Homo-oligomer: A and B are copies of this chain.
């Protein structure tokens, strides 16, 4: 399945708790869209979040974010994992 890295920038009021809750909301509904949010990384000061996600398409990954919490990424790039 294709792999994507998304990036959210300058998310207002980002906290570790808020991003963990948003991620849990993604996990709760992602199977409906054939999506698997695998890992994420964040910075509370800059409001940056990077999500690594397997999905049939970038659109499917974005749909999960939209339905789960409404926080859409600023960009999403299909990637391969280096070895």
Contacts and interface: CB of A to CB of B under 8 A. Distances in A.
A79 interface: yes
Nearest to A16: B80
A83 B38 CA distance: 10
Q: Please classify how large the interface on chain A is, using the bins under 10, 10 to 19, 20 to 34, 35 or more.
A: 20 to 34
B83 A41 contact: no
Given A16-B80, A39-B81, 7 more contacts: A5-B41, A23-B82, A43-B77, A43-B80, A46-B77, A48-B79, A50-B50
Interface of A: 3, 5, 7, 16, 19-20, 23, 39-44, 46, 48, 50, 52, 77-83
A39 B19 CA distance: 22
